[in-house]
Chain A
């Protein structure tokens, strides 16, 4: 027993904690877009992962033409936001008032189109985004890239900014009113269909922004969307459905567990840890881990 604790890789544990928090914050950004769309519109956006992927690809394209990563981040986010708004108007607006299961089918159709478009346009070879910040600091024996810390901070800032937007801006108040009571909001003169469109655009923008930010950490290919949407789904279920705070907590929790598991397990199998968390949540607390117990 004592031997076990002596051999416990404390430094490795700390490094993985930092890693887990960094990837957790990116995941939180993805998942909060998903939760936002679900919480307000009752739409499960199956194409969320594809918007993430599209953001990353657009980042590559814009970076290649302009040479600036930060410009790429902004342009890709804006383009995907406009695309999201168009998607909502064309495909989801006719479905308002129908069984919500229709929306998961339609967004699944969109994800098929986007994924195959990416394969057609960019080919099966994975792309890379270079890191915009190349300096390092020393974490134990490791040179830890500043860029990861910057992304974590940026993700947190975007989520925080969004929270402030919901709380204080006029559109944010509209969004919250629509969440509470759609019919009443409409009666008070809030343009509910446009609130939906706006929310979808914001959710899409959040997915795209996280796609560009994540770009330098891994490779970009046309199938990455499914991985991310799965992770985000797990986080949304574990965090409690349609609950923004819960999703963020769950994102960090799941990512931390996965990165600890990666110390002992092969990374491709470490994914199983998040599946186990999901199963345990469903067994013992199907309403979600990070929400108050429903009365």
Chain B
């Protein structure tokens, strides 16, 4: 209490901006760069950037679990994949294909998968949670891979990209630029929403579960329910990433439901820095850039995952906070 006037006087010295101001200026600067970037970049790199944003969204969704709740999910491919297939299904059923219906269907699919996974795997903790999410995502993979009549089996589903439409206002075809801006808008919106969630009372409870689950339970919070909601929220955002990926690439394939996608998601998080929300996007960018770079220098067949695996292990041992770990406290303030 006695320090209150002191605090008020101190941090706002002459010429110094408050934390909030710096944060929003930084946010706007990054947004401005991301908005302008596709105008300057060649088409390939513009698409590449869009894809990084989508992978970043997937990684961010999983950060809600890894970084804020302390549960490692090795099953995010299931949510991502269900989002993809949900969107594909909706686009193939409706004439003309409707973007918003696709998003709705993808989110619905991801939510269903998330409910299923959350209900069962939150019964277990730590390592067992990680293992069961992995096993559940494989269940979805086996179903999608073998149910050829509905999912197209190994070949997946191919469709045409829907138009961007708002009733009575616009109806236009996506091009590389507008697709990028659309993805950017959704990813930035998701980021702000996730940031709001992690700073809300609900997010605080999640972080207290991460720090000390037994004590959180003892205080009287229904930990299981919080975990289920956390997994479902995370699944929804992962599903949105799946929808965007499907719309961007005009297909849904079983490969993306396979474990590799979940593994990549975990790598993005660890490289970028868990518990920062921004870090996973940076991690996704780092991963994709390195991969592109290596396949250009050493050829397509080069096993880029070997050097990336070494980097990944080195980061866990020597830099456990990830690339953006130094900014973690600042970003969450």
> Is the pairing of A and B real?
yes
In the complex formed, the residue of A with least CB distance to B120 is: A282
Is A44 a contact of B139 with CB atoms below 8 Å?
Answer: no
Establish whether residues B316 and A102, one from each chain, have CB atoms under 8 Å apart when the complex forms.
Answer: yes
A113 contact from B138, B142, B306, Cβ within 8 A? B306
Instruction: Please determine whether B320 and A230 come into contact, CB atoms closer than 8 angstroms.
Output: no
Bound: A104/B266 CA distance, A: 11
**Which residue from A101, A109, A278 sits with its C-beta under 8 Å from B313?**
A109
Q: Provide the A236-272 mask, 1 if CB < 8 A to any CB of B, else 0.
A: 1100010000000000000000000000001011011
Contact flags B99-142 to A (C-beta < 8 A → 1, else 0): 00000000000000000000011011011101110110011001
Identify which of A91, A119, A282 contacts B132 (C-beta below 8 A): A282
Nearest chain-A residue to B124 (Cβ)?
A: A286
Q: Are B317 and A237 in contact (CB under 8 A)?
A: no
Contacts of A95 in B (CB 8 A): 316-317
How long is the Cα–Cα vector from A115 to B306 in the complex, in angstroms?
Answer: 9
Could you tell me if B310 and A100 are in contact, using CB atoms closer than 8 angstroms? no
Range of interface residues on A (Cβ < 8 Å): 35 or more
For window 84-127 of chain A, which residues contact chain B by CB distance below 8 Å? Answer: 91, 94-95, 98, 100-102, 104-106, 108-110, 112-113, 115-117, 119-120
CB of A226 within 8 Å of the partner chain: yes
Please pick, from B70, B126, B146, B270, the residue contacting A105 in the complex, using a CB distance under 8 A: B270
How many angstroms from the CA of A236 to the CA of B130 in the assembled complex? Answer: 13
Tell me, in angstroms, the Cα distance from A234 to B135 when the chains sit together: 8
B residues near A94, Cβ cutoff 8 Å: 317
Q: Which residues of chain A are near B124, meaning CB under 8 Å?
A: 237, 282, 286
Is B309 in contact with A113, judged by CB distance below 8 angstroms?
yes
Interface of B is mostly: helix
The answer to whether the Cβ of A283 comes within 8 Å of any Cβ in the partner chain is yes
**B308 contact from A44, A91, A112, A236, Cβ within 8 A:** A112
Question: Which residue of B120, B134, B303, B316 is within 8 Å of A109 (Cβ)?
Answer: B316
Contacts of B312 in A (CB 8 A): 105, 109, 112
Q: Is B305 an interface residue (CB 8 A)?
A: yes
* A residues near B266, Cβ cutoff 8 Å: 105, 108
Give a binary string over B246-261; 1 marks a CB under 8 Å from any A CB, 0 the rest: 0000000000000100
Q: Are B305 and A113 in contact (CB under 8 A)?
A: yes
Interface residue B263 (Cβ < 8 Å from any Cβ of A): yes
The residue from A110, A230, A266 contacting B135, defined by CB atoms under 8 A apart: A230
Q: Is B157 an interface residue (CB 8 A)?
A: no
Judge if B72 is at the interface, Cβ distance under 8 Å: yes
Q: Measured between C-beta atoms, what is the minimum distance from A269 to chain B in Å?
A: 6
Which residue numbers of A lie inside 8 Å of B, CB to CB? 38, 44, 91, 94-95, 98, 100-102, 104-106, 108-110, 112-113, 115-117, 119-120, 226, 230, 233-234, 236-237, 241, 266, 268-269, 271-272, 275, 278-279, 282-283, 286
Q: Can you show 28 pairs from A to B with CB atoms below 8 A apart?
A: A38-B127, A44-B127, A44-B131, A91-B317, A95-B317, A101-B72, A101-B130, A102-B316, A102-B320, A105-B316, A108-B74, A108-B266, A109-B313, A110-B309, A116-B303, A116-B305, A117-B303, A226-B259, A233-B134, A236-B131, A237-B128, A237-B132, A241-B128, A268-B146, A271-B142, A282-B123, A286-B123, A286-B124
Extra contacts, 17 of them, besides A44-B131, A105-B312, A109-B310 (Cβ < 8 A), are A38-B127, A91-B317, A98-B320, A101-B72, A101-B130, A108-B263, A110-B313, A112-B308, A112-B309, A117-B306, A120-B303, A233-B134, A272-B142, A275-B142, A278-B135, A279-B120, A282-B124
